[in-house]
Structure 1
Amino acid sequence: MTDLVTRLAQEHLSRWQRGYLNDEAKAVGALARLRRGAGRPAGQLPDLWDLLDTQGLHEARRDGRPLSETELARAEDALHTAVTLWALHQQSRGTGMHQPHRPEHPRGLGAAVHRLMPPNDIDDSLRKRLVRAGNAPDLTTLAQRLRDIVTLLRREDVHLDYALLAGQLYQWQWPGGADRVRIAWGRSFHAWQDHRASGPQQDNPAPGDLSSDLPDATDKDTL
């Protein structure tokens, strides 16, 4: 199911980003409407309901059974959050801010945050923003904290894989999912560090313990 959410997000993002960069009126208008939803719950703006075609979510699962209401709702929320954050990021930018992740060009959230930092240094205030996002208690709070990060990425023209993010936001909403997503963001953060140190041919680093970068939610510095 996570793969389906990622694929649908990629389809939407590719179409809208291509249209926006080609100055197509429909895509420009859609982006203006979408960015108003950044950091806000999916059902709060009825004006956006017709923009996200979620028909693909009604495809049968691999086991043949239809998606449950919970699966549908969480998938729709993940798509809404990722696409509206992209719209905020893309505003007034002449190149596509959504770029697919590749080992030689890490585009995950952690890597994007690390790219904002000075070479060979860790900006603790930026790191704490990532930590606070990772420790968000619910999707609405997470979307709001991600909005703050995306505003910084937009200012510095740092790219992000929003289709990957959509899949992670879907995973986030399930039991144990937040922990897995935090680990993925931590790996991404270290992948960019490794990429800068070793050059573009270096593969992503091996998974490790990320607790030093994403501390427990009880850490006072994350509040």
Structure 2
Amino acid sequence: MTDNPIPPLMAVVGRAARSLENDLLGQDHGRAAAARRDLAVLRRAAGASPEKDPLAWGLVLERVLPDLPETYLGRGDAPSRSEWAAFTALTLFAVHQQSQSKAMHENRMGIGYAVGRLAQRRDSESIKPRFDALLLTRTTGGLVHNLRSLVTLLRAEQIPADYGRLAQDLARTRDRGGWDRVALSWGREFARGLSLTRSESQSQPVA
């Protein structure tokens, strides 16, 4: 039996995030400086739509779109759902990676699971309402606003997330019934991250 193939959008956005962080944290000073500039451009665009920030959109075009199948690309004046999802995920990644000395993109670390870890590490009574607001939102603006708020908190605790998977989830919200399915998935991830982290903390020896 073979593993399920990684969806193209998830794979391509994950590679783009990995490439940026590798350049940023690597030993080549020129590549690190270029990555810092690119991440600054992407970070400033967090919360915007692709057509509102042509510089950030250009970076996403260069890093993501050449590797996406043609069926994922837009045809008219508006971005396709995959283009929008890639743009949104990478701009949020840029927020997450700001001023960090380690990689903030990590495969298989779903956003719900990451926030579950955050809730265990911090006061869950302050995190859970923010996460609930994310699950309940049904507007694009509310979705991105709540994600950015949580990503900022993840950055403060140096908890990574999978930005390829986030892009895939964001694209799924554009499907019929997609909001509910993504919210269900994130809720499960949150509970798993919270419970596993609790188990890990309880199993640590007392100094």
Q: TM-score range by the shorter chain?
A: 0.7 to 0.9
Please state which structure has a larger fraction of its residues in helix.
2
What residue is the counterpart of 2:133 in the other structure? 132
Q: Is the 8 A contact 1:139 1:173 kept in 2?
A: no
Give the Cα–Cα distance (whole angstroms) in 1 for the partners of residues 129 and 186 of structure 2.
13
1:111 matched to 2:119? The reply is: no
- Given candidates 33, 37, 62, the residue that maps to 1:29 is 37
1:74 matched to 2:81? The reply is: yes
- Given candidates 62, 67, 84, the residue that maps to 1:56 is 67
1:148 matched to 2:149? The reply is: yes
Output the TM-score relative to the length of structure 2. Answer: 0.82
Deviations 1:153-183 (CA, angstroms, capped at 9, x unpaired): 1111111111111100000111111111111
1:92 matched to 2:103? The reply is: no
What is the 5 A alignment of 1:166-177? 166-177=167-178
Offset, 1:38: 1.1
1:55 partner amino acid: P
1:9 matched to 2:20? The reply is: no
Offset, 1:43: 1.5
Give the % identical residues.
33
Give the Cα–Cα distance (whole angstroms) in 2 for the partners of residues 12 and 44 of structure 1.
21
Residue 198 to residue 124, structure 1, CA distance change in 2 (3 Å): closer
Unpaired runs of 5+ residues, structure 2, are: 1-5, 202-207
Offset, 1:137: 2.0
1:83 partner amino acid: L
Offset, 1:122: 6.7
Count of residues in correspondence between the two structures? 189
Output the TM-score relative to the length of structure 1. Answer: 0.76
1:109 partner amino acid: I
Q: Is the 8 A contact 1:153 1:159 kept in 2?
A: yes
TM-align CA RMSD: 2.5
Residue 94 to residue 126, structure 1, CA distance change in 2 (3 Å): same
1:178 matched to 2:182? The reply is: no
Give the Cα–Cα distance (whole angstroms) in 2 for the partners of residues 30 and 153 of structure 1.
21
What residue is the counterpart of 1:209 in the other structure? none
1:110 partner amino acid: G
Offset, 1:132: 1.0
1:177 partner amino acid: G
Deviations 1:105-149 (CA, angstroms, capped at 9, x unpaired): xx2112211222246x97233111111112222223211111111
Give the Cα–Cα distance (whole angstroms) in 2 for the partners of residues 117 and 199 of structure 1.
14
2:57 partner amino acid: W
1:124 partner amino acid: E
Q: For structure 1, which segment, 8-17 or 48-57, has the greater mean C-alpha deviation from structure 2 after superposition? A: 48-57
1:42 matched to 2:70? The reply is: no
What residue is the counterpart of 2:162 in the other structure? 161
1:128 partner amino acid: P
Offset, 1:11: 1.6
